[in-house]
Every structure is written in structure tokens, then in C-alpha cells.
């Protein structure tokens, strides 16, 4: 495998800490969300950061697949990332992707969102480990 790019982000303090990217673009505090016992202050959290990264990557893959199949589309992708309690008491994440596709018929859009799920590096990374639901909206 040929490495094309590496992102480097350091965190100190875990879920109630500070994250910084090596280029300084990301430089912010993170806090536990209220739903997990935090204060609910105006800070981001790992789930929001993952949702932002996954939806950006997936939407890029969707547009790539559309171009490769000679379709001109406009799209918006929202990743809803949840923390779930498992039967054994552990925690796991799940994702519901809400995808808007304009410019093609519904059946073509359905086909494109499935193809994008096969192409997206984030989808590949979590496949068979994280429950992901794709919803054309």
C-alpha cells in the first residue's frame, strides 16, 4: 500500500481534554457530551469529530462514484454517530448516514450511495465492526 497522506492530531486529557493537529488547524477543547454525563457545554466531542470526518469522506466518495458513472449530482451527507450500550455493558458506536442526492432518479441515487459505501475509506475501515445505515432522504 502506498501512503498518500498522514494526518496527525494529538489529544491530551481524553474526552475532557484538548486536541491539536500538527499544522495547528485543529486546536480546541473537547468535552464529554451531556448525554454521556458531561456538562453539555459548547465544546465538540469525539463523536462529532468522527461524524464530520466520515460524512466529508463519504460525500467525496459519492461524488467520485457519480462522476465515474457519468452522472452530475449535487449531494449533502449527514452522519449521525451514536454511542450505544451493548448487552455486555460495553460501548459501541453506530452510524446513520442521511444522504441527499439531486440530479438523478431515485433508483440511480440508491445505486450510487451503495457504490460510495464500497469506495469510501471510512466505510471500509469500519466495515463489519460498526453498524452503518444508509438512508436516501
pLDDT on residue 40: 77
The reply to whether 63 and 78 lie within a common domain is: yes
Q: Which domain holds residue 113?
A: 46-136
Helix, strand, or coil (residue 34): helix
CA 75 to chain centre: 15
Domain count for the chain, please give it: 2
DSSP 89: S
Estimate to the nearest angstrom the gap between the alpha carbon of 112 and the chain centroid: 18
Per-residue pLDDT of the chain (137 residues; tens, 9 = 90+): 999 999 999 999 999 999 999 999 999 999 999 988 988 789 999 999 999 999 999 999 999 999 999 999 999 999 999 999 999 999 999 999 999 999 999 999 999 999 999 999 999 999 999 999 999 99
Predicted model pTM: 0.94
User: Which ranges in 17-132 belong to alpha helices (H)?
Assistant: 46-68, 106-119, 121-126
The helix (run of H) or strand (run of E) holding residue 133 is: strand 131-136
Q: Write out the three cell numbers for 16.
A: 475532557
Question: Residue 116 sits in a domain of what CATH number?
Answer: 3.30.300.20
Amino acid at each position: 500500500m502506498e501512503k498518500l497522506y498522514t494526518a496527525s492530531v494529538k489529544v491530551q486529557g481524553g474526552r475532557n481534554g484538548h486536541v491539536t493537529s500538527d499544522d495547528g488547524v485543529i486546536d480546541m477543547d473537547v468535552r464529554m457530551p451531556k448525554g454521556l454525563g458531561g456538562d453539555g457545554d459548547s465544546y465538540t466531542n469525539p463523536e462529532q469529530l468522527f461524524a464530520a470526518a466520515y460524512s466529508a469522506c463519504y460525500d467525496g466518495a459519492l461524488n467520485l462514484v457519480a462522476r465515474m458513472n457519468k452522472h452530475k449530482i449535487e449531494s449533502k451527507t449527514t452522519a449521525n454517530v451514536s454511542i450505544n450500550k451493548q448487552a455486555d455493558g460495553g460501548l459501541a458506536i453506530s452510524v446513520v448516514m442521511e444522504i441527499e442526492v439531486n440530479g438523478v432518479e431515485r433508483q440511480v441515487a440508491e445505486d450510487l450511495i451503495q457504490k460510495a459505501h464500497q469506495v469510501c475509506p471510512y466505510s471500509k475501515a469500519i466495515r463489519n465492526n460498526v453498524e452503518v445505515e444508509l438512508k436516501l432522504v
